[in-house]
Amino acid sequence: MRHARRRVVRRVTRLTAVAGLLLGGAMVTQAAMASETPGASAVPRSSAQSAAATGAGLVSRLGTSRTAGNWIGADGRPVVAVTDDKAAAEVRRAGAEAKVVRHSMDELKSATATLRAAPRVAGTAWAVDYRTNRVIVEADSTVSADDWSRMTKVADGIGSFVRMERTKSTFTTRLNGAQPILSTGGRCSAGFNVTNGQSDFILTAGHCGPTGSIWFADNQGTQQLGRTVSSSFPSNDFSLVQYASGRAGDGADVVAIGGGKGVRITGVSDPVVGQRVFRSGSTSGLHDGQVTALNATVNYPEGTVTGLVQTTVCAEPGDSGGPLFSEGIALGVTSGGSGDCTTGGTTFFQPVTKALSALGVKLIVSAQQAGGQSAAPSPAPSSATHSAIAPGTASPGSSAPVKGGTEGSTLLSRLSDPRTIGPGLLVIAGSLIALVATRWIRAEQDRKAYRRYYSATWG
C-alpha cells in the first residue's frame, strides 16, 4: 500500500512539473509578443490627438495660403482658421469648425521671419496666436525703453496684426525639476527616460549643462546618476544624460507628480493649441494649463531658442527640464518662461518629438499600455480612447506609484516583473527542478530497496 501511494505521489509530481513547463513556455511566449511595438493601426489615440490630426489634415489639404492654423475648441472639436468661404465650407463638411480670418499662415510666418531678422533683444518673445489671428510680441521688465521703441517700430512696419505686450516678469531659463538631478552647474529635472536600444538616458533641458556635465541624485554628490553626452542650447533646448549603470531601472515609464505618486507615460506626440496639459517639477509640483501657441521664439539672456511650445502652465526655478504631458502622452520638457505659481505666468517647452528625432533615441513608455517603446511622433498611444472630450476634462494620465531610487533594480525584482519573460523562466526552472528531484528520489528509493533485498537474501 505504501509503495502504491509513493507511485501516485511521483506520478502527480511529474504531471505537475510537465504542466509547469507548458505554462512557463506560454508565459515566455506571451511576454515576448507583448514586448513588440504595436503597429500604428493598433495604437489608440486620445481625443486631443484625434482633433489635432483632423485639423492638421485640413490645413495640409487647403494649404497655408488659405488657412491660418488649427486648435481645439472649448467643446473638444477641431477648429481651423481659413481665409475664404469656400475653404470654410470644406472644413465644415469634414466635421470641424471653421473660423474665417483675415491673415493667412503665410502672412503670419512672414511677420515672425521679419522679427527674427531684426536686431536681437534679450527679454523678448513672440508666437502666432491662431485664435486671434495675430502675432503676439512680449517684452519683459528687463527690456529698455529704447529697445521697446525699436521693437515697436519693427512691429508697426509689419502690420496691425502684430501686437506688442509688456510683462512685469522676466523671461528666464528655469534652471533647477519632476525628480531632481544635481551637478556643479546647478539643479535640473529628469524629464523623460529614453533609450537608443543599448543604453538608457534622461531627456532634459539643454540649458541645464553642457556635454560632460556629471549629475547626481543627492546633494552630497555620492549617488552618481550619469553624464551629459549630448546637449543643444541655445537654438534648441534639450540634452541627453546617460545613466552611469546604462539602465534607467524600475519605473522608467513613470513621471513623478508628488506625494509618492506618478503618471505612466504611454506615448509621445506634438501638442495642439487649446489642449489642456500638465507639468511636473520638484519645486512647484504638478500644475496644469493650456497650450496657447506653437513654434514660439524666446530671446533668453543666454541666447535665442525657437520652435517652442507656449503655455499658461506656471513654473518656478527648480522646474527646468521637467516633463510636459497630457493623458499619458509625453509632449515637452520645461525650457523657461516668466512669472511663478502664485501670480501665474507663461512657460515654454521644448517639443519631445523634435528632441527624439535629433538625438536618435526612443521614449521608454509603459509596456502595460503600449507594449514596448515608441518614438513615432503621431499617432501616439494614450490612456484616453474616447472619441470626444472637452480640453478642460483632460487628465494627466493613468496613475502609478513612484518607486524609490532613480536607477537600478535587483535581479529578483526584474525576474518577477510581469512585463518581462522572468516569471515564465522562473516557472520553467521550478518545473525542471521538480522533474529532476522526482527522478532522483525514485532512483534513491530503488537503490535502498535493492540494498534491503540483498541484505535480507545474503544476510
Count of alpha carbons within 13 angstroms of residue 438, beta-carbon side: 19
At 336 the pLDDT is 93
Name the percent of the chain in helix, strand, coil, to the closest 5: 30, 30, 35
The backbone region for 192, taken as left when phi is positive above 0, alpha when psi lies in -120 to 50, beta otherwise, is beta
**What are phi and psi for residue 102, nearest 5 degrees?**
-90, -40
Going residue by residue through the chain (459 aa), what tens digit of pLDDT does each one get?
Answer: 555 556 665 666 666 666 666 666 665 565 554 444 333 333 345 677 788 889 999 999 999 999 999 999 999 999 999 999 999 999 999 999 999 999 999 999 999 999 999 999 999 999 999 999 999 999 999 999 999 999 999 999 999 999 999 998 899 885 443 567 777 667 788 899 999 999 999 999 999 889 999 998 877 767 888 999 999 999 999 999 999 999 998 889 999 888 888 899 999 999 999 999 999 987 788 999 999 999 999 999 999 999 999 999 998 887 888 999 999 999 999 999 998 899 888 999 999 999 999 999 999 987 654 444 433 333 333 333 223 446 676 788 777 767 654 443 334 444 444 545 656 666 667 767 766 666 666 666 666 665 555 555 554
Q: Which of 83, 79, 88, 56 is nearest to 68 (CA)?
A: 83
Gap between the Cα atoms of 17 and 23, Å rounded: 10
Q: Which residues are CB-contacts of 154 (< 8 A; sequence separation ≥ 6)? A: 114, 115, 118
Pairing of the two strands 124-129 and 285-300: antiparallel
Q: What is the DSSP letter of 143?
A: S
At 382 the pLDDT is 32
> Per the structure block, which three cell numbers stand in for 142?
528687463
CB 49 within 8 A of CB 379: yes
Gap between the Cα atoms of 67 and 91, Å rounded: 10
At 258 the pLDDT is 81
Q: Which residues are CB-contacts of 214 (< 8 A; sequence separation ≥ 6)? A: 183, 184, 224, 226, 227
CB 143 within 8 A of CB 123: yes
- The residues carrying an active-site annotation are 207, 237, 320
The Cα-based distances of 451 to 311, 439, 459 in angstroms read 85, 19, 11
At 424 the pLDDT is 64
Gap between the Cα atoms of 46 and 451, Å rounded: 74
At 433 the pLDDT is 73
The residue to which cell 535587483 is assigned: 410
At 179 the pLDDT is 67
At 142 the pLDDT is 95
At 137 the pLDDT is 97
